[in-house]
Amino acid sequence: MTHDATLSRLTGVDLRPLEQRLRGTLLRPGMPAYDSARQLMNRAVTRRPAAIAQVADTRDVVEVVRFARDRGLPLGVRSGGHSPAGHGMADDALVADLSGMKRVTIDPGARLARVEPGVTSGELAAVAQPHGLAISTGDTSSVGFGGLVTGGGIGFMVRKHGLTIDHLVAAQVVTASGKLVTASEREHPDLFWAIRGGGGNFGIVTEFTLRLAEVGQILGGDLVLPASREVIRGYLDYVMDAPDELTTIANLMHAPPFPHIPEARVGELVLSILVTWVGNESEGQRALAPLRALAEPVADAVGLMPYSAMFNFTAHQAIPIPHCIRHAFAHQVSEVAVDVALDAVEHASSPFSMVQFRGLGGAMARVGAEATAFAHRDKRYLVSALALWMDETADATPHRAWIDSLWQAIRAEGAGAYVNFLEDEGQERIGEAYPLPTLARLAEVKRAYDPHNRFRFNQNIAPAVQA
C-alpha cells in the first residue's frame, strides 16, 4: 500500500526531511500501523492526523517541534491517550506521540524518580514498589505521565501524599520555539508553576523528576456496599473526617461480574468503594469500621497488599471503550444530588454507566492555592458522571442524553472543574478549571513560552494580549 510523502493535500509539506532525522517512526495514512496508532482510550472520539511521529527520545521531540514551527504546521501531542476530549490526536495535524518514551530511573537513596512522559501509572508503581516507594498517580494503570502530571494528578493516595504535581522537583520541557529547558523552582520558575496544572499549553515535557514517598504494604481493595441514600450520605460525611491516611474513590454503579462479587449480587445497585490506607494496619482497620458499618457489605475485598496491586481493581478501566464524562469539584453534595444520582444510575442507558464520588482534602488541601496552576485545593469532593458503553458502532445518542440530563440536574452544585476530566466543553468550562487570577497568570506564561499558540490541541489557554 502506498502513502503520501507530504503532510496532507492541504499543505503539500514534504515529510521526508523529518523522517530522515527521527530515531523513531513517522506514520502516515496508508501505513499498516497508522490506524492502530491513532486510536485513543475514548473510542467515542475518532481523529485522523496527517502524520504521527512516534518519537524515541527528547531529541526527536525537538526535531518534531522545530519542523512544525518552521513550516507553520498544526502540532498535536499524545502521551497515554486518556484525554476524554481525545486531545491526544488531532485531525490533519502532525502529532508527537510520546507513548514510546518509557524510561524510568530511580535513585532509592534520594527517593527520586526520573520518568519519561510515556511511562504509565502502573509501570512506575511496579518499578518503585521493590524499593518501598510510590506516589499518588492516575488510578488506572494505563494513564500516561505526560497528561497526568501537567493536569495535576488525583489518585489513590491523594489525601496522604497529595497530587502528583506536589512531588515534582523539575521537568525537561521542549518549548514552542524548539528549545529544551529545565523548569524548577530555580530555573524558569514561571514555567514550573504553569506546568503543574496548566495542561499541555506551555511545551512538551520529556522528563519529570519526582520525589517519591515511602510506601510499603497498604490496606487496600474494594469494599462493596448496597447503594442507598443513607449509605451514600454516610460515606460522604465520613470521608471528610477520616484520617489523612485513608483515600477512597466510590463508584455508584451496577455490581459488575468481578471475582470478588457474589454471582447472585451481580447487577445490583451498589456503592463500590476503592480503599487505600497508607499506614498501620490495625489503625486502618479501625478507620474502615465506620464504612463497613454503613450496611452489610455485598463484598469486602480489602486487605494488605503492595500499592501496585490497587491497579488490579481498575484493570477494566484500561480497556478502550466509548465514553462521556461530566464532572465538578464540590464543597458539599446535597441530598437532592444523591437522589438524582441514585435514580440516574438505576435507569442508566447502559449497565456500565456510573456516578463517582471522591473525597478530597488532606495533604492536597495543605498546599496553597497559589503554589501551582492547580488551584482547587480547598474542594472537599470531586463528583463525576460517566456514561460508558461497549459497542463502538452503537448509536451514542441515548448515552449522551442520559449524561446530559444528569449533568443538568447536578451541575449547579459544582465549584470548579478538573482539567484532566474535561471533554470539549467550551471556554466557560476551561474557566471553571482555573480561578480568574490563576487563568490570567497562565495566559502571561503562555505568552512568554508559546506566543503563537502552537500548543493548542488541549484545554487551551490563549496567550495574554500584549498591553
Q: Are residues 354 and 404 in the same domain?
A: yes
Q: What is the pLDDT along the chain (467 residues), one digit of tens a residue?
A: 345 567 776 678 899 999 999 999 999 999 999 999 999 999 999 999 999 999 999 999 999 999 999 999 999 999 999 999 999 999 999 999 999 999 999 999 999 999 999 999 999 999 999 999 999 999 999 999 999 999 999 999 999 999 999 999 999 999 999 999 999 999 999 999 999 999 999 999 999 999 999 999 999 999 999 999 999 999 999 998 899 999 999 999 999 999 999 999 999 999 999 999 999 999 999 999 999 999 999 999 999 999 999 999 999 999 999 999 999 999 999 999 999 999 999 999 999 999 999 999 999 999 999 999 999 999 999 999 999 999 999 999 999 999 999 999 999 999 999 999 999 999 999 999 999 999 999 999 999 999 999 999 999 999 999 76
Q: Are residues 248 and 309 in the same domain?
A: yes
Residue at a domain's end among 44, 64, 97: 97
Of the candidates 467, 465, 459, the one whose C-alpha atom is nearest the C-alpha of residue 84 is 459
| 61 strand-pairing partners | none
Please report whether residue 464 resides in a domain: no
Please report whether residue 445 resides in a domain: no
Please report whether residue 10 resides in a domain: no
Please report whether residue 205 resides in a domain: yes
Q: Are residues 51 and 93 in the same domain?
A: yes
Euclidean distance between the first and final Cα of the chain, in Å? 53
Please report whether residue 338 resides in a domain: yes
- What's the CATH code of the domain at 157? 3.30.465.10
DSSP percent split of the chain into helix, strand, coil, nearest 5:
35, 25, 40
Q: Are residues 73 and 187 in the same domain?
A: no
CA distance 98 to 110: 27
Q: Are residues 276 and 416 in the same domain?
A: yes
Note the pLDDT of residue 9. 62
Phi and psi of 184, rounded to 5°?
A: -155, -175
For residue 309, which amino acid is it? A
Of the candidates 416, 412, 424, the one whose C-alpha atom is nearest the C-alpha of residue 87 is 424
Q: Is residue 134 classed exposed, middle or buried when 0-12, 13-18 and 19+ CB atoms within 10 A define those classes?
A: buried
Please report whether residue 191 resides in a domain: yes
Note the pLDDT of residue 466. 79
Please report whether residue 426 resides in a domain: no
CA distance 284 to 281: 5
Please report whether residue 429 resides in a domain: no
Residue at a domain's end among 72, 97, 122: 97
List of long-range contacts for 281-288, beta carbons under 8 Å, 24+ apart: 281/217, 281/219, 283/243, 283/245, 284/219, 284/245, 284/246, 285/219, 287/242, 287/243, 287/245, 287/246, 288/219, 288/223, 288/246
Residue at a domain's end among 214, 239, 268: 214
Full domain range(s) for residue 120? 104-214
Q: Are residues 198 and 263 in the same domain?
A: no
Q: Are residues 320 and 415 in the same domain?
A: yes
Enclosing H/E stretch for 191: helix 189-195
Q: Are residues 22 and 62 in the same domain?
A: yes
Note the pLDDT of residue 2. 44
CB atoms within 10 A of CB 296: 9
Phi and psi of 26, rounded to 5°?
A: -105, 120
Count of positions (residues) in the chain = 467
Q: Are residues 299 and 180 in the same domain?
A: no
Q: Are residues 71 and 126 in the same domain?
A: no
Cell digits of residue 267: 447487577
Cell digits of residue 258: 468481578
User: What is the tally of structural domains in the chain?
Assistant: 3
Q: Are residues 352 and 377 in the same domain?
A: yes
Q: Are residues 130 and 253 in the same domain?
A: no
CB 77 within 8 A of CB 66: no
